[in-house]
Structures are given as C-alpha cells and as structure tokens.
Chain A
Amino acid sequence: MKEEKNDFLMKKWRTQLSKGVLEYLVLTLLQKSRHGWDILQLVRSFLPVTEPPLADGTIYNILTRLKKRELVTERSEIFDGRLRRYFILSVKGIELLAEMKKDWEKIIISFGEADKLAEL
C-alpha cells in the first residue's frame, strides 16, 4: 500500500518536473539548429517518463509558442521529398536562456546547500 502510494507520488513528481523544465530544455537544445523530430527524440530521452507520456503535439506547441514570442527562428528545407523545419534560438532567445541558466544554477547551488544543511 505504501509502495503504491509512493509510485503515485513519483509519477506526479515526474510529470510536474517535466512540465516545469520542458520549455527550458527545448531552449537549451535549440542553441544548435535542430529539426522538429530531432527535438522530440532528445526531449523524450532527457526527461523522465511522464503519465500520460509527453505527446508530439505538446512539444510542437511549445515550438509554436516560442516562435510567437520571437525566441526562436525557423527555416524550412525539403528533405527526401518532405518538408523539414529547423529551429534555432534568436537573439532574444539567447538572452532569455542566459537568464534562465543563471536561475537554474542558483537552484542547483541551493539544493546542494540544502543537502549540506541536512548533514549538519
């Protein structure tokens, strides 16, 4: 019973964690030019499994939102007779990612300090 409860809590935690860092992860990946499918695979491999699993649509939608906010730029190419879109951070996106990284580093440091406090 206790294990089941922990399983449930872990699923919830993973889902929340994935949602929280999803946009940050996509921005980090887009420091290099990547196409949609590439981003999808990388995001899935980097983030823990969520319930329900992260849908392609969700990640496509994040790309749409980032484009709308002018944080990424897009170029299209025909590959094997199919349209392929490549995304990369814009100047605005690079600036935002730098700010986000600072916050993220602070959080990592804070967690380290919190751990040290627990050891005292």
Chain B
Amino acid sequence: MLSSEDDLSIEDIKKNYLTILSLELIKRGIAEEKTKEILDEVTISLSEFMEESNIETLDQLEENFGSVDQFCENNSLNRNREAAIGQYISLGLIITLLTGIIILGLGLLIIYPFNRIFSNQEYIHLLTQDLVVENGIVGSLFGLNMTTWIIYQYIKDRYSRWDIRERIKLVLLILYWFIFVLWIVMVVSYYTSTYEIIDVTLNYGYSNLIIEGAIRWFSIGVFLGTTAALFTFKYVKTKNTSESHKKDSFIFDKLKSIWIYFVISVFVFPYPGIGVFVVLIGISILFYSKITTVTWLMGSVSILAQLVTMLFMLEAKAGGYVEDTIIFGIKLNIINNSGNAFLFIAIIIICVIIVWSVACYYKLDRKRKRSFPKLKVPKKKLDIVPILLLIIIVVATLGTKPQYLVLEGQGEVEMVTQEQMVAEYRYHIPPVKGTVYISLYTYLEIFEDYPPGFVYVQEGNWSIRVVSTSFPSYELNLNGSLNDASSHMYYFDTYQLGVTYLKLQINGSGSMMLRFEYNHRPYHPYVPVHSIHWESAVPWFPTPIESGILIITLLSVFVRFESLQIGKRKEIEHIREK
C-alpha cells in the first residue's frame, strides 16, 4: 500500500515513487533483470535529486523529477504486451504456490489433529500413531518448509529491494512462521488429547516409542523454528540495506532446488492431493532455474529414484500392504495387476526422462556444458548451525514411512447368545523382522438412546494367534482379559475405549488372528468397533533409498562441478604466467 500524502517523509515519497515505477515496469513487460538494474539506479538518482531539491510531496517529485511514464518513455522502456503477460504469469505462478502452501497447511490441520480429535472418535488409535509420528506429518511439515525455501531460492536475488514483488519475501517470512505455528497446534492437540494414553503407555513397555516420537516432534519443531528465525534474521538484516542475500547463504542454499524438489516428491509427499502441487513446483523450477548439466543429471537420477520407489510400492501392493499406486505424488487407480503396472510405470519414467532431457537441452547454459565433479574442501570454518539443522531433519524424518499391516478380510462380529458376542479379524503381516508393538483397540460409542440406567461395560477375553508363512515357520499364541492388568479402559464423553498393549517378536511375513469374546452384548444394534495399531521397533534405520538420498545430499554440498573448458583455460593461463 502506498502511504497517504499527509506526513510523508522523504523516504516514504521515494518508496512510493519507486513502487509506482516498479508496477509500471511490470505493466510494460520489462525483464526482471533490467527492472532490478533500473530501480537500483533510480534509487540513487532519486536520493541525490531529493537532497538537492526541496521536495515535500509525491506530486512535486513527479513534476520535477519526471513522472514514471515520462521516465519510461525517455529511456525507451516501451510497452510489450506479450512480455507483460509473461510477467503476470510468472507472478501468478508464485502467488499460486504461496496460496497452495497456506491451503495445504490448513488442510494438514484439518486432516490430522482436528478431524481425529473433534469430529471422528474412531480415529483415537491414530492419535497414538501420530504421537510416534509415523504417518507423514513430519514429512509434510518439512515439505511445506522446503517448498517455501524453493520459492525463496527463486526470488532471492531477482528483484530490487524497491520492487513491489520484493514483498513476496515478507509473505514467505509469514509462511515460515505459519508452518511453525502449525507444528505448535499439532503438538499441543496431540499431547493434550492423549495424555491418559501416554501415561499408561509410558509405563507399559511403550516408553521407547513415545520418547522416540517426542524426539521426532521436538526435532521437526527445532528445525522449523530455527529456519523461521534464521529467515527472519536475514530478512530484517537485508531489508534496510541493499546488501545481497548471497553473502548470507547457509548450507541449504548450496543444495540444488531440483534435488530438494524430487526428494519431496519421492519421499515426503507421496499423497495424491499434494502431487499436482509438487508437479507444479517442478515445472516452475524447470522454467525459472538456470539449467546446467548438473541439474539435468540430478533431475534424471531423481526421476530414476521414482522408479526404485515404485518397485518397492509394487512389491507392497502385490503383498496387499498398500491399496493405491502413487507416482510423482499422483494416485494411479488404473493399474490393476503388478505386471502391467511395472510396464506402465517404466514407460512413464522413460517419457518423463525424455521430456526432462529435451527441456534441459533447450535451456542448457552452454558455457557450462561439460562439467565434472570435483571435491570442494571448505576454505573457511564451517557454520555449525546449518550442519546441526541437517542432522536434526535427518533424525526427524528417517523411518517415518508407515509400516503397513493389512486386514485380510472384513472382521466378523457374531452374536453367540443373547448375552454374549464374539468378534474375529484376520490380518496380513508384512515381511518384517524384529520387535513390533501392537495395540488392540475396542471402542463403543454410547448413545443417548440407551435405556435409562443401563450401563454397558466392555468385559471379556481377547486372544491373538500369529502364524508365519515364511521360513523358519513359527506360531505365537497370546491371550488376556479386557479387565485384567493387560488392558486399559478409558471413558470419554460419549464412548468407552479398551486398549491392550502387546510386544511381539516377528520373523517374516504371516498372518495374525484377533479374537474378542465379550461377556455382555451392548444395546442392540450397537456393536464395538475394533482396530489394531502396529509399530515397528526400529523404524529409524534408513532404507536403501533414504541412504542414497543422504549420500547425494551430502555430496551436493561438498562436491563442486567444474567445466573442463574452465579447467583448460586456467591451465593455459598458468602456462602463460610461467
């Protein structure tokens, strides 16, 4: 907004004039680089002109210094309709991305804590899953933060500080804190709504999982808070100076935008709704980033990483652990059998690589056509903050991919007698080895139309039978009562919840039968709802793909790509000097 004519300081008049000029330059379709140069020059000229003259209003300035229109005409900054449309499209894309971050952030709040806590009580078991952050919350928050970072990388040194588009940085600053606030709301929601469960689980062999979850929540919070604080510091520092942000870059700035994008697309945002958004960011990077052979190489490796991810997903799909096939973040429901699926995905990957290569070829920075990797030894002391941030985010995100346990067939609830009821379910165990934590849930919504004075209490026995299908085969049998020390009954506003916590040693795939035998039947037609929550004991260990991503991320920080031509030129110069 322009300041009002009253009480305008010289700085305000200057700022208003430059803002009007920047808008005029956008309207005329002047290239961003040229606009930056013009605005920086006019800033100096204006300061000098105003020091020498007695200007008190914007009108006086326009009359004496010349209107923006006059300035443009005098300097041959002619209108170009097509270029102006290009400017609007570029600006529109950035605004769309920023709006997307807000919508997705609010969507996260609705999907995760609000939906589970306030609207659908059946999700109570997912709350404990959220406590150990195994469902993509951490990744989503990290992804939103990194998306903000990508947009910042794009606009960082693009505009003059007087350009109206420079205000996008303020929006980015608000977004950084918005994502941090999302984290606070989530943490508070989860930990205040599940304190009873936390209390029991901490004392019931689940303490490691709860502590691990807390470390993850804390880590992502530290990461989000620190990056927001660093960005604020950078923003305030450079706001009142014309100093470039380049000098203030920290380790993330050295990572390739394209690489971060694909990391997000492969690992952090595997969910369909966000896929379109991810593809949109990818296209904007392709159009607006400087493309070199390194960008092409990293992009191609990243696309191939999608193929590897898809192979894992196909295996999981064949095993029945996942229902949907997702590629580049987009859900593909057309794939029905895994043979066709592999061919289909391979064709998509090949096509994307071809499109990527052709696009890169046309946008290639010819001067750096042939680049070769060279280890870069840091000359100055490494900044400890960004290195700590990298470690923190690795700790927070590793192993947060869900471990699937799939219901093989719909469970049956059988009314044995007028008083008794039996419920049976059969689950498929994925090919995992080691300790797993299982929570059995039985919950019943208590409605107002229960007969007056009737109090239903879940009582009875549960049993679990695990049969392996892998070698060496084994069988496990466990049982207990819903009313003994193995189970815990919670009474909330409108429903009661029974939870049983178990720790099992699993060795390979198999199946698991779950059986509840209730002593009483609840009031007809209501029956308890059952679910199971499965947690792997060691989800921290990085998968092969995660390890690959980590190695390449580190290499991208410490390896510099130098063109052979530059190397030869240096060699020639060296010989000449001799």
Query: A residues near B, CB below 8 A?
Result: 15, 19, 36-37, 50, 52-58, 60-61, 63-65, 68, 82-85
Contacts and interface: CB of A to CB of B under 8 A. Distances in A.
B92 interface: no
A50 B75 CA distance: 12
A68 B48 CA distance: 14
Contact of A83 (B45, B51, B64): B51
Contacts of B74: 19, 50, 52, 54-55, 58
Given A52-B73, A83-B51, A84-B52, A57 B65 contact: yes
B71 A56 contact: no
B42 A57 contact: yes
Interface centre among A58, A61, A82 (most CB of B within 10 A): A61
Nearest to B38: A61
Q: Interface of chain B, helix or strand or loop or mixed? A: helix
B575 interface: no
B475 interface: no
Q: Which 6 A-B pairs have the closest CB atoms?
A: A55-B66, A57-B65, A58-B74, A60-B45, A57-B66, A61-B45
Contacts of A19: 74-76
A57 B48 CA distance: 10
B71 A55 contact: yes
B70 A52 contact: yes
Given A52-B69, A55-B70, A85 B75 contact: no
B78 to A, nearest CB: 11
Q: Is the interface of A mostly helix, strand, loop or mixed?
A: helix
Contact of B71 (A58, A63, A82): A58
B275 to A, nearest CB: 47
A58 B52 contact: no
A13 B71 CA distance: 18
B44 interface: yes
Contact of B41 (A54, A56, A61): A61
B41 A68 contact: yes
B222 interface: no
B64 A60 contact: no
Nearest to A15: B73
Contact of A56 (B64, B75, B76): B64
Contacts of B48: 36, 60, 63-64, 85
A58 B64 CA distance: 11
Nearest to B71: A57
Interface string B69-95: 111011110000000000000000000
Scoring A37, A57, A83 by chain B CB atoms within 10 A of each residue's CB, the highest score goes to A57
A51 B455 CA distance: 92
Nearest to B42: A61
- Give the interface size bracket for B toward A: 20 to 34
Interface of B: 41-42, 44-46, 48-49, 51-52, 64-67, 69-71, 73-76
Given A52-B74, A57-B65, 15 more contacts: A15-B73, A36-B49, A52-B73, A55-B71, A56-B66, A58-B71, A60-B65, A61-B45, A61-B75, A63-B48, A64-B48, A83-B51, A84-B52, A85-B48, A85-B52
B282 to A, nearest CB: 38
A19 B70 CA distance: 13
A37 B52 CA distance: 9
Nearest to B65: A57
A12 to B, nearest CB: 11
18 contacts: A19-B75, A50-B74, A52-B69, A52-B70, A55-B65, A55-B67, A55-B70, A57-B45, A57-B49, A57-B66, A57-B70, A58-B71, A58-B75, A60-B65, A61-B45, A64-B42, A65-B41, A83-B52
B25 to A, nearest CB: 14
Contacts of A84: 52
B46 A57 contact: yes
Nearest to B76: A19
A36 B52 CA distance: 9
A15 B52 CA distance: 27
Contacts of A57: 42, 45-46, 49, 65-66, 70-71
A54 B75 CA distance: 9
Contacts of A52: 69-70, 73-74
A60 B71 contact: no
A68 B43 CA distance: 13
Contacts of B65: 55-57, 60
A56 B457 CA distance: 88
B517 to A, nearest CB: 87
A84 B52 CA distance: 7
Nearest to B74: A58
A15 B72 CA distance: 13
Contact of A82 (B52, B75, B76): B52
A6 to B, nearest CB: 21
Nearest to A85: B48
B21 to A, nearest CB: 10
A56 B45 CA distance: 10
A51 to B, nearest CB: 8
A63 B45 CA distance: 8
A34 to B, nearest CB: 14
A17 B75 CA distance: 12
Contacts of A58: 66, 70-71, 74-75
Nearest to A79: B52
Contacts of B41: 61, 64-65, 68
A33 to B, nearest CB: 16
B45 A64 contact: yes
B70 A64 contact: no
A15 B46 CA distance: 23
